[in-house]
Structure 1
């Protein structure tokens, strides 16, 4: 069942990717541009998980899974820059300062390095079957989400509160809260893929936020 769910998520992310491209087209919000690599990485991630049992155990699948960790390390922190740009696009004055810009870029670079040194460098992969999915995962994986994910979740949540207050847009906040809930609560279902629904909902809310800000900007001009 899980390979089908991962395939469905792959299709869902492809739709989000197309939507984000349309938002960026014709000088759309800069925030949407930072979503493109993140969504592309999730297309790859879910696609490899969906196809793992078809590819079969061996070096090919191991290398494909190894790339998942590198993509996650470099692309996911871009959500910090997405958050910063949403605040700028909401015309929040303090978000336009050089200080916050520098902090956003430094935090993004810091999170990339943190993920590389704590999760990627020295990574040992082992084959794993789970609910019909064959993948290669970290042999020394620790329980709970990585520190990088926790920090990004906090940044997204904080930005969503300001967007809600400034522009009356609730769905950025809703997506961020649901993602946090999905990360901390054990869902009583026999599936590893089902939890990824929260991640897709988050990316849907982020893409919808970029679309909302684009439409709002066009209305003002």
Structure 2
């Protein structure tokens, strides 16, 4: 089933990327640029998973999968900046403080740095077949603490935006994504968690659209 769904996921993430680019052309906002980077990484991720079985196991597929993790560590923390910028646009009081702005950028750079350092120390990637797809993953796959931290910060900003302008989509999308990714993969597989990532990004894009 996943072998059928991931090409669809690739197409959907590409459509969302085009939507984000069209939004950026309207207002040239920093928050939209952050979304474009994240969606570009998501599109690449789904594409590589989609074509893994066609490329077959080997050095090329391992390298392409290595970039999946690099892009994840490089781009996903940018959502902290996106959430902060959206909170500013929504008129959230604390988000407009200069110290918060500097802290937001510092935290984002810190998360990116830690993620990339962890990737450098990463153990050898091993091939795995999951629901008809071939991909590489770390031999020991730990809890993605930095990703969870990023999502929590986005959820906090989303909740504040909801209270300020009655727009719940960022908060709801983040909570749904966190809950779905917490489900045991052995029971629910990776398809559910991947689908929830799109609901998460859709919530961010919907919020961005409302704030334009």
Contact 1:29 1:213 survives alignment (8 Å): no
- The match for 1:26 is 26
Greater shift, 132-141 or 36-45, is seen at 132-141
| Within-5 A mapping of 1:85-100 | 85-100=85-100
- The match for 2:82 is 82
Q: 1:94 to 1:192 in 2, by over 3 A?
A: closer
Q: CA RMSD in A?
A: 1.6
Q: 1:122 to 1:173 in 2, by over 3 A?
A: closer
1:138 aligns with 2:161: no
Structure number with the higher helix fraction is 2
Q: Deviations over 1:26-45 (max 9, x none)?
A: 32543111100100000000
Shift in Å, 1:81: 0.3
Q: Which has the higher contact order (CA 8 A, sep 6+)?
A: 1
Q: 1:28 to 1:183 in 2, by over 3 A?
A: same
Q: TM-score, normalised by structure 2?
A: 0.94
Shift in Å, 1:93: 3.1
Cα separation, 1, equivalents of 2:126 and 2:56: 13
SS in 2 for 1:200: helix
Q: 1:44 to 1:25 in 2, by over 3 A?
A: same
Cα separation, 2, equivalents of 1:192 and 1:175: 18
SS in 1 for 2:135: strand
- The match for 1:15 is 15
- The match for 2:154 is 156
Q: How many residues align?
A: 212
Q: Which runs of 5+ in 2 are unaligned?
A: none
Cα separation, 1, equivalents of 2:186 and 2:146: 26
Q: Deviations over 1:132-157 (max 9, x none)?
A: 11111101222x3x111110111011
Q: Which runs of 5+ in 1 are unaligned?
A: 215-221
Contact 1:29 1:89 survives alignment (8 Å): no
SS in 1 for 2:191: coil
- The match for 2:121 is 121
